[in-house]
């Protein structure tokens, strides 16, 4: 197959999933063309079947907001024509599904098919906003197939947008060899902790929806009972506020702000517990990556997260904002080495049996084949 993938290239779950999917497809001998305004950060451009096409947006004094969606549609159309692509896979509804639909319309003779994958905030925050609601709905209705990353997100999409067409649930996935407990690195761990201290970790794009301030609050409560350090990985709009909270709670000396890190498997495998107290989380890729590394998760029972983390088995889930409850659960787990080990093993087991790339990529391939079979 020849597939063009439109995605956000920066740090964030939808771009990661799109990149990993494209590379997995290339390994299976499909030709994959990534189309975005810069190379997606996890894409390995050295693979023969992986191609990256950058969208250039001309700015003009008349444009207060340069129309990226139109430039993307034009680039998609060029890529389709030059490479005999039959399938456009849009990750994140806005603007990608709209640009893909426009490209399909602009080159009718190519008989293109469009698949849209919904990732979360494209439905729960961006799409739900009045300014994007109707166009998001249009993107979903007009796509040849739609996937969502969890049952919860599929249900939310049907409810919020009154969608009746089928939405395929295709979860996020991991490569069990890359995200593995074998990536634990004692020297790396010892560069953050001293002696028997526990290492807690948070990985995100520090958007308000991730509640990084709650992460610091949970940690400061845990640290009263368990000697521990917190590793904050990533960057984003709430980074400064999270640092201020660490200062206010006088835990600065035990919180490490590592900034953006490209490969997080070693850090996850070298940590004891991931904190993910998000406001909403359609799936929680960071949780899955931690689990695959044998690191249990303490987070919120929100969105699709309970489909990933089994409360009491591979981690602990509590209501959004209940930092006390999440801290208590974290203390329980970290304070009991046997429980910590059991949960880590259960987490790894769940990740590799339910969410391995081998299984999930096949689900996408099957949808591609079904959709392509409808071409005249
Ligand atoms: O994290 C976001 O704010 C948006 C989005 C993204 O593009 O990074 O993340 C979403 O997609 C991920 C991949 O499918 C999911 O694992 C995340 O749960 C989801 N984030 C939210 O729903 C907040």
3-state secondary structure 169-214: ECCCCECCCCCCHHHCCHHHHHCCCCCCCEEEEEECCCCHHHCHHH
Of the pLDDT bands very low, low, confident and very high (cuts 50, 70, 90), residue 108 is very high
* Residue 305 alpha carbon, nearest atom of ligand 1: 18
User: Does residue 315 line the site of ligand 1, with CB under 6 A?
Assistant: no
pLDDT at 259: 95
CA atoms within 13 A on the CB side of 236: 19
Residue 59: pLDDT above 90? no
Rounded to whole angstroms, the Cα distance separating 75 from 360 reads 28
User: Does residue 210 line the site of ligand 1, with CB under 6 A?
Assistant: no
User: Does residue 7 line the site of ligand 1, with CB under 6 A?
Assistant: no
Length of the chain: 376
Contact of 255 with 229, CB cutoff 8 Å: yes
Q: Is the dihedral of CA 295, 296, 298, 301 positive or negative?
A: positive
Residue 336: pLDDT above 90? yes
Write out the DSSP string of 238-281. Answer: THHHHHHHHHHTT-GGGEEEEE--S--HHHHHT-SEEEE--S--
17, 97, 121, 127, best to mutate for ligand 1 pocket (most atoms within 8 Å of CB) = 121
pLDDT at 61: 87
Asked which of 61-65, 85-89, 91-95, 278-282 is least confident by mean pLDDT, the reply is: 61-65
CA of 160 to the centre of ligand 1 (A): 18
Residue 128: pLDDT above 90? no
41, 123, 274, 283, best to mutate for ligand 1 pocket (most atoms within 8 Å of CB) = 283
pLDDT at 375: 86
pLDDT at 10: 83
* Interval 294-311: pLDDT, tens: 999 999 999 999 999 999
Q: Is the pTM of this model over 0.75?
A: yes
CA of 172 to the centre of ligand 1 (A): 10
pLDDT at 263: 86
User: Does residue 189 line the site of ligand 1, with CB under 6 A?
Assistant: no
Residue 376: pLDDT above 80? no
pLDDT at 125: 78
* Residue whose entry in the numeric block shows the structure tokens 């004692």: 186
């Amino acid at each position: 197959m020849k597939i063009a993938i439109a995605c956000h290239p920066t740090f964030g779950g939808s771009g990661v999933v799109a990149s990993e999917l494209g590379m997995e497809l290339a390994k299976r001998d499909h030709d994959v063309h990534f189309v975005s305004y810069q190379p997606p950060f996890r894409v390995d451009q050295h693979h023969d079947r992986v191609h990256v096409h950058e969208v250039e947006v001309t700015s003009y004094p008349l444009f207060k907001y340069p129309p990226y969606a139109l430039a993307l549609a034009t680039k998609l159309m060029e890529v389709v024509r030059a490479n005999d692509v039959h399938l456009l896979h849009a990750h994140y509804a806005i603007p990608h599904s709209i640009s893909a639909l426009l490209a399909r319309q602009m080159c009718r003779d190519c008989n293109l098919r469009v698949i849209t994958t919904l990732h979360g905030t494209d439905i729960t925050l961006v799409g739900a906003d009045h300014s994007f609601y109707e166009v998001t709905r249009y993107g979903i209705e007009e796509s040849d197939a739609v996937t969502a990353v969890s049952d919860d997100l599929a249900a939310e999409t049907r409810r919020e947008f009154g969608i009746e067409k089928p939405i395929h649930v295709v979860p996020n996935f991991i490569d069990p060899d890359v995200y593995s407990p074998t990536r634990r690195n004692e020297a790396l761990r010892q560069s953050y902790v001293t002696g028997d201290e526990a290492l807690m970790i948070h990985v995100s794009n520090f958007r308000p929806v991730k509640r990084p301030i709650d992460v610091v609050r949970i940690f400061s409560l845990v640290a009263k009972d368990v000697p521990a350090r917190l590793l904050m990985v990533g960057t984003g709009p709430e980074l400064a506020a999270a640092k201020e909270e660490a200062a206010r709670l006088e835990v600065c000396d035990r919180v490490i702000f590592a900034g953006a890190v490209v490969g997080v498997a070693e850090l996850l495998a070298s940590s004891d517990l991931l904190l993910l107290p998000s406001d909403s989380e359609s799936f929680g890729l960071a949780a899955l990556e931690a689990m695959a590394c044998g690191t249990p998760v303490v987070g919120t029972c929100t969105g699709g997260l309970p489909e990933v983390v089994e409360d009491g088995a591979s981690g602990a889930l509590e209501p959004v904002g209940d930092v006390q409850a999440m801290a208590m659960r974290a203390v329980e787990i970290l304070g009991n080495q046997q429980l910590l080990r059991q949960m880590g093993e259960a987490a790894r087991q769940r990740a590799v049996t339910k969410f391995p790339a081998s299984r999930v990529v096949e689900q996408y391939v099957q949808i591609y084949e079904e959709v392509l079979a409808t071409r005249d």
